[in-house]
């Protein structure tokens, strides 16, 4: 496990993940990286520029992960599992479900038992009082020769206003919340530790 000093710029971390993944061999141990990023919007491989509404002074990076557009910033824990899925016999859909399960388990540990998936929209959501769902964790991965990188982002205690500048994950009007909004007082480090504990149960 590597806990990167932060808030860290996005692009150098992405390039380091990419280099690690492309240079690893069949015996390279898996790693899990935890980081907070400096403010940045990232567009996935299928990301459409029209989902960038008002980015202001925040940097926009086109990334090679899956998914549409999201925001990273201080107060959000980002977890990058660098895992050889082929070696573990895990298929991509299983891996995505596994990561969502890790987030769901973490949210339950904070008392958010109603956290859920949303069909057709990867990530993890929580219900609001009006019955709608708000996104609390985003997911985007890249698989190269059976090896995964990129990962997940859980909103902990952050400025949520930058999400108003995009259609989060390509969905117009989607609400975005953090743990603090949901009444959970915790830190990025504690949330990262809880996510890490559950990931390590799957990827010892």
pLDDT tens string for the chain (204 positions)?
A: 677 777 999 999 999 999 999 999 999 999 999 999 999 999 998 888 899 999 999 999 999 998 889 999 999 999 999 999 999 999 999 999 999 999 999 999 999 999 999 988 889 999 999 999 999 999 999 999 999 999 999 999 999 999 999 988 788 888 999 999 999 999 999 999 999 999 999 886
Q: State how many domains the chain has.
A: 1
Q: Tell me if 55 is assigned to a ligand binding site.
A: no
- Verify whether residue 169 is a known catalytic residue: yes
Q: Tell me if 71 is assigned to a ligand binding site.
A: yes
Q: Of 35, 85, 136, 169, which is the active-site residue?
A: 169
The enclosing domain of 119 has a CATH number of 3.30.930.10
């999201």: which residue's tokens? 70
Question: What's the pLDDT score for residue 2?
Answer: 78
Question: What's the pLDDT score for residue 4?
Answer: 76
Question: What's the pLDDT score for residue 120?
Answer: 81
Cα separation of 200 and 102, whole Å?
Answer: 10
Question: What's the pLDDT score for residue 165?
Answer: 94
Q: Tell me if 151 is assigned to a ligand binding site.
A: yes
Q: Tell me if 46 is assigned to a ligand binding site.
A: no
Q: Which domain holds residue 84?
A: 2-202
Q: Tell me if 139 is assigned to a ligand binding site.
A: yes
């Amino acid at each position: 496990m590597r806990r990167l000093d932060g808030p860290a710029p996005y692009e150098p971390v992405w390039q380091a993940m990419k280099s690690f993944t492309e240079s690893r061999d069949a015996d390279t141990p898996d790693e899990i990286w935890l980081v907070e990023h400096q403010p940045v919007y990232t567009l996935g491989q299928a990301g459409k520029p029209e989902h960038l509404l008002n980015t202001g002074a925040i940097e926009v990076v086109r990334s090679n992960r899956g998914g549409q557009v999201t925001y990273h910033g201080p107060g959000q824990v980002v977890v990058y599992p660098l895992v050889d899925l082929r070696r573990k016999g895990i298929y991509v859909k299983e891996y995505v479900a596994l990561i969502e399960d890790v987030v769901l388990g973490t949210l339950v540990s904070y008392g958010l038992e109603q956290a859920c998936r949303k069909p057709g929209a990867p990530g993890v959501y929580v219900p609001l009082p009006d019955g709608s769902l708000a996104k609390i964790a985003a997911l985007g991965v890249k698989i190269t020769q059976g090896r995964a990188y990129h990962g997940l982002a859980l909103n902990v205690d952050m400025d949520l206003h930058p999400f108003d500048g995009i259609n989060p994950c390509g969905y117009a009007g989607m609400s975005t919340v953090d743990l603090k909004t949901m009444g959970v007082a915790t830190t990025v480090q504690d949330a990262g530790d809880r996510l890490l504990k559950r990931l390590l149960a799957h990827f010892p």
